[in-house]
């Protein structure tokens, strides 16, 4: 079973990586990019008996810093 976790910075938290990408895109001539937010996507190959609660616990303990990040779990 495969789960996909999206981890993004919370709104309002400064995203220096996103700003750097936005700046670089401008330098490459890509106008009209008003904002860039960068996050992580983590694909987990799990045992068939894994549950959403298990993945949630993985996020809370390791995969996301819940002070500044939010996460979304998707089973694929």
Residues engaged in binding a second copy (CB under 8 A): 6, 8, 18, 21, 24-25, 28, 30-47, 49-50, 54, 57-58, 61-63
Give the SS3 label for residue 51.
Answer: coil
Find the shortest distance in angstroms from Cβ 15 to a second copy: 10
Give 20 or 67: the residue with its C-beta nearer to a second copy.
20
Find the shortest distance in angstroms from Cβ 40 to a second copy: 6
Give the SS3 label for residue 2.
Answer: strand
Q: How far apart are CA 23 and CA 17, in angstroms?
A: 10
- Beta partners for residue 64, in sequence order: none
């Amino acid at each position: 079973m495969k789960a996909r976790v999206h981890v993004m910075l919370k709104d309002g938290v400064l995203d220096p990586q996103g700003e750097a990408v936005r700046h670089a895109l401008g330098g490459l001539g890509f106008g009209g990019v008003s904002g860039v937010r960068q996050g992580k996507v983590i694909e987990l190959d799990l045992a068939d008996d894994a549950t959403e609660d298990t993945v949630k616990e993985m996020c809370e303990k390791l995969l996301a810093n819940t002070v500044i990040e939010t996460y979304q779990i998707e089973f694929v």
